[in-house]
């Protein structure tokens, strides 16, 4: 670097640049969280069932194998749109699908990826289904590209 | 080693390397489970092995950063560490908490672990990388605060160098952002948004300050180049890191609920995120060309060059490959993400920790100019085996990812393969990745073996007049 570019100039770019972009990021965060998200994240449908379902999702570490909205592990299918894929967008169909699926685990097919049986009650499976249904309705800029996730 | 208290870095480095070995063992288990689905099922299901793999990585990198800090801050400040005793206490607390948490993952069912650690009181578990029980998270916060206190007191009473200031700024950011791990709203979209405040703003934000500071310190020591020059570079690099990386967080906001302007902001700023890594490459090679001495620790110099190149490839190039929103729409959450994650973490953070270990461990072991020739040759074999293996792991995962996108994402609904049908098609690449992983393990064994070889190097040879007094 040219000698005319001094260390204190470099330091000022660092300090000025980071302060500016931290403030910009905070402003954008406020706009995102206060203005935009209430209209996009379907929060008026966030029922007690959905909240319980999210806790079940977390306490069984579902994200350790699955992805949800593309985040998580890539060992098992995406679940943010499983309500559409397996439930056809119908709450009752999806609940019965979920019960059948969860109770059939593990398949024990030799050599195939195995999902544990988490011993959930029917009510718990319904909560989980409610959480996944709610998640499927967040406006996520039309991701994923197709139903397979 | 100029100050006796720097030696407290040693247990941190040793424990970091032990956890590193554990991380790779679980990486191999995961790699095999990708193709032999029921391997170790139900004893160690995939989610458990993955949690162990990623949490060991995070914890051992933290041990590495702490060791690096304990080693270099007193020397930079030209004073003894404020409290070596506190550093030792924190070592044992963190080591015990980390070990217990990993054992908890392995031997207690996760839902039971959540139950007995009273996750209900303050639910923070079950989110990617933040799987630790809440009590462990509190423990990490306490250890980090006490650690920063110890380091801060040391730095304040001594010489204030740019390396120290940048390093401590990075550590403060690390500690401060960790607090977001306690925020877990029941709205998944909000949860995800602030989850990135820990994950992205760590690895694509404040950790780059830590990396830059460690790299600058090692380059001052190895090349003898004037501190003024190195500090100027360091400022420019971290300026670029924060200017691009903070708004660059937006590349994670594309598909998790936030509004469409993030598609633009995230794409543009994260497309610039390779810049600081590119500058690190130019920086390291430039300083080495302008060196005032030939430091006999060639292995440390190799790590220092290697970390910049691999960080640029893994974080920079492989990040850029899928960071533009129109591309990311297809690749988000595919094996391409996994490819990028592996090489970025290895290049930027694994290798910077191994750089400072390569430089500092011999000194702490009474070999001021580095290990003897044989040990260095073996260490460099470890470097090349691990690094080339990681390149192949990344290439195979990238191939798997491209094919996955082609089969599962690009076709219309109805035409596209289901997730599992697609996985079967790309199994060959997972097998090759597993083989590359086995070579990585071999490289790690060679690397660790180099620590057991005796002998030390002779003093540095000055090449362009005496190096600065610092070096």
Residue A114 included in any domain: yes
CA A144 – CA B9 distance, rounded (Å): 47
| A98 & A137 share domain | yes
Whether this model's pTM surpasses 0.95: yes
- Is B48 in contact with A64 (Cβ distance < 8 A)? yes
Q: Which of B453, B387, B448, B434 is nearest to B13 (CA)?
A: B448
Which residue intervals of chain A are DSSP H helices?
Answer: 7-30, 37-40, 48-59, 82-87, 91-104, 122-136
Residue A119 included in any domain: yes
Q: What is the pLDDT of residue B470?
A: 76
Comparison of pLDDT for B351 and B468, the residue scoring more? B351
CA A89 – CA A87 distance, rounded (Å): 5
B420 interfacial to chain A (CB closer than 8 Å) = yes
| A96 & A70 share domain | yes
Q: In a 10 Å sphere around its CB, with 0-12 CB exposed, 13-18 middle and 19+ buried, how is residue A42 labelled?
A: buried
Residue A116 included in any domain: yes
Share of chain B above pLDDT 90, in %: 97
Q: Which of A104, A102, A103, A112 is nearest to A57 (CA)?
A: A102
Q: Which residues of A touch B115 (CB under 8 A)?
A: 59
Residue A1 included in any domain: no
Interface test with A, best of B32, B51, B106, B186 (most A CBs within 10 A): B186
pLDDT of B327 above 70:
yes
| A51 & A112 share domain | yes
The dihedral through the CA atoms of B299, B302, B308, B311 has a sign that is negative
Phi, psi of B293, rounded to the nearest 5 degrees: -150, 155
- Find the largest Cα–Cα distance for chain B: 72
Facing A70 at nearest CB: one of B51, B255, B258 = B255
CA B170 – CA B210 distance, rounded (Å): 5
Give the residue-averaged pLDDT of B17-44.
98
- Is A146 in contact with B126 (Cβ distance < 8 A)? no
Interface test with A, best of B134, B419, B427, B431 (most A CBs within 10 A): B419
Residue A2 included in any domain: no
CA A50 – CA A56 distance, rounded (Å): 10
Nearest chain A residue to B419, by CA: A77
- Is A149 in contact with B188 (Cβ distance < 8 A)? no
Q: In a 10 Å sphere around its CB, with 0-12 CB exposed, 13-18 middle and 19+ buried, how is residue A65 labelled?
A: buried
Phi, psi of B398, rounded to the nearest 5 degrees: -65, -45
pLDDT of A2 above 80:
no
The dihedral through the CA atoms of B228, B230, B233, B238 has a sign that is negative
- Is B128 in contact with A25 (Cβ distance < 8 A)? no
Of A62-66, B295-299, B434-438, B463-467, where does mean pLDDT reach its minimum?
Answer: B463-467
- Is A108 in contact with B38 (Cβ distance < 8 A)? yes
| A20 & A51 share domain | no
DSSP state of B253: S
pLDDT per residue as tens digits for the range B423-469: 999 999 999 999 999 999 999 999 999 999 999 999 988 888 888 77
Identify the domain containing residue A50 by its residue range.
43-148
pLDDT per residue as tens digits for the range B13-26: 999 999 999 999 99
Q: In a 10 Å sphere around its CB, with 0-12 CB exposed, 13-18 middle and 19+ buried, how is residue B435 labelled?
A: middle
pLDDT per residue as tens digits for the range B362-382: 999 999 999 999 999 999 999
pLDDT of A95 above 90:
yes
ipTM confidence score:
0.97
Question: For chain A, what is the domain count?
Answer: 2
Cα Rg of chain B, angstroms = 22
- Is B259 in contact with A33 (Cβ distance < 8 A)? no
| A73 & A32 share domain | no
Give the residue-averaged pLDDT of B35-44.
97
pLDDT per residue as tens digits for the range B130-166: 999 999 999 999 999 999 999 999 999 999 999 999 9
| A92 & A114 share domain | yes
- Is B128 in contact with A60 (Cβ distance < 8 A)? no
Split at pLDDT 50, 70, 90, the class of B32 is very high
Split at pLDDT 50, 70, 90, the class of A3 is low
| A52 & A112 share domain | yes
Q: Which residues of B touch A149 (CB under 8 A)?
A: 408, 419
- Is B125 in contact with A62 (Cβ distance < 8 A)? no
| A59 & A84 share domain | yes
B216 interfacial to chain A (CB closer than 8 Å) = no
Give the residue-averaged pLDDT of B402-429.
98
Q: Are B101 and B136 spatial neighbours (Cβ–Cβ below 8 Å)?
A: yes
Interface test with B, best of A141, A142, A147 (most B CBs within 10 A): A141
B291 interfacial to chain A (CB closer than 8 Å) = no
B44 interfacial to chain A (CB closer than 8 Å) = no
B231 interfacial to chain A (CB closer than 8 Å) = yes
Q: Which long-range contacts (CB under 8 A, 24 or more apart) does B423-427 make?
A: B423/A113, B423/B34, B426/B335, B426/B399, B426/B400, B427/B34, B427/B35
**How near does any CA of chain B get to the CA of A92, in Å?**
22
Share of chain B above pLDDT 70, in %: 100
- Is A148 in contact with B419 (Cβ distance < 8 A)? yes
| A58 & A31 share domain | no
Nearest chain B residue to A45, by CA: B187
B258 interfacial to chain A (CB closer than 8 Å) = yes
Three state DSSP letters for B285-340: HHHHHCCCEECCCHHHHHHHHHHHHHHHHHHHHHHHHCCCHHHHHHHCCCHHHHHH
| A34 & A92 share domain | no
| A20 & A62 share domain | no
Q: Which residues of A touch B111 (CB under 8 A)?
A: 59-60, 118
Q: What is the pLDDT of residue A5?
A: 93
| A70 & A129 share domain | yes
């Amino acid at each position: 670097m040219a000698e005319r570019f001094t260390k204190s100039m470099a330091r000022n770019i660092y300090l000025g640049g980071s302060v500016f972009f931290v403030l910009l990021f905070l402003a954008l965060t406020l706009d995102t969280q206060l203005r935009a998200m209430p209209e996009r994240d379907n929060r008026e449908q966030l029922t007690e069932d959905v909240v319980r379902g999210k806790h079940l999702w977390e306490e069984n570490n579902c994200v350790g194998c699955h992805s949800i909205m593309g985040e998580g592990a890539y060992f098992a299918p995406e679940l943010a749109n499983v309500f559409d894929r397996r439930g056809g967008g119908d709450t009752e169909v999806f609940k019965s699908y979920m019960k059948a699926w969860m109770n059939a685990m593990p398949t024990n097919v030799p050599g195939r990826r195995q999902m544990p049986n988490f011993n959930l009650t029917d009510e718990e499976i319904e909560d989980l289904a409610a959480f996944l249904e709610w998640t499927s309705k967040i406006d996520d800029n039309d991701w994923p590209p197709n139903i397979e996730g | 080693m100029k100050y006796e208290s720097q030696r407290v870095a040693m247990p941190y480095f040793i424990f970091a390397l032990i956890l590193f070995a554990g991380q790779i063992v679980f990486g191999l288990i995961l790699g095999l489970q990708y193709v032999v689905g029921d391997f170790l099922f139900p004893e160690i299901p995939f989610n458990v092995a993955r949690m162990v793999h990623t949490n060991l990585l995070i914890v051992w990198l933290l041990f590495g950063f702490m060791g690096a800090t304990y080693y270099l801050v007193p020397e930079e400040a030209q004073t003894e560490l404020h409290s070596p005793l506190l550093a030792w206490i924190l070592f044992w607390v963190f080591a015990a908490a980390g070990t217990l948490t990993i054992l908890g993952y392995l031997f207690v069912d996760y839902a039971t672990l959540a139950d007995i650690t009273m996750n209900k009181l303050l639910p923070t578990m079950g989110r990617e990388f933040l799987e630790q029980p809440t009590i462990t998270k509190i423990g990490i916060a306490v250890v980090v605060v006490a650690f920063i206190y110890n380091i801060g007191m040391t730095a304040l009473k001594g010489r204030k160098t740019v390396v120290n200031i940048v390093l401590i700024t990075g550590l403060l950011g690390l500690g401060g952002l960790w607090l977001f791990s306690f925020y877990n709203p029941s709205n998944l979209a909000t949860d995800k948004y602030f989850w990135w405040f820990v994950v992205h703003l760590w690895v694509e934000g404040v950790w780059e300050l830590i990396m830059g500071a460690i790299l600058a310190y090692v380059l001052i020591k190895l090349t003898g180049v004037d501190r003024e020059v190195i500090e100027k570079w360091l400022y420019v690099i971290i300026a670029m890191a924060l200017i691009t990386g903070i708004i660059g967080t937006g590349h994670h906001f594309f598909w998790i609920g936030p509004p469409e302007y993030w598609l633009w902001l995230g794409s543009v700023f994260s497309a610039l995120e390779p810049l600081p890594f590119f500058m690190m490459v130019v920086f390291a090679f430039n300083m080495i060309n302008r060196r005032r001495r030939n430091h006999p620790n060639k292995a440390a110099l190799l790590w220092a060059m290697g970390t910049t190149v691999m960080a640029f490839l893994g974080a920079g190039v492989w990040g850029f490959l899928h960071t533009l929103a129109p591309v990311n729409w297809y690749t988000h959450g595919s094996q391409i993400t996994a490819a990028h994650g592996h090489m970025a973490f290895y290049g930027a953070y694994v290798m910077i920790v191994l750089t400072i270990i390569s430089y500092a461990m011999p000194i702490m072991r009474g070999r001021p100019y580095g290990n003897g020739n044989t040990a260095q040759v073996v260490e460099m074999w470890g470097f090349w085996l691990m690094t080339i293996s990681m390149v192949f792991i990344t290439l195979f995962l990238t191939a798997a990812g491209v094919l996955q996108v082609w089969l599962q994402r690009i076709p219309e609904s109805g035409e596209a393969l289901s997730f599992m049908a697609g996985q079967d098609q790309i199994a060959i690449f997972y097998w090759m990745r597993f083989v590359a992983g086995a070579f990585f393990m071999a490289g790690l064994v060679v690397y660790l073996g180099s620590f057991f070889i005796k002998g030390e190097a002779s003093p540095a040879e000055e090449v362009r007049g005496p190096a600065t007094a610092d070096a």
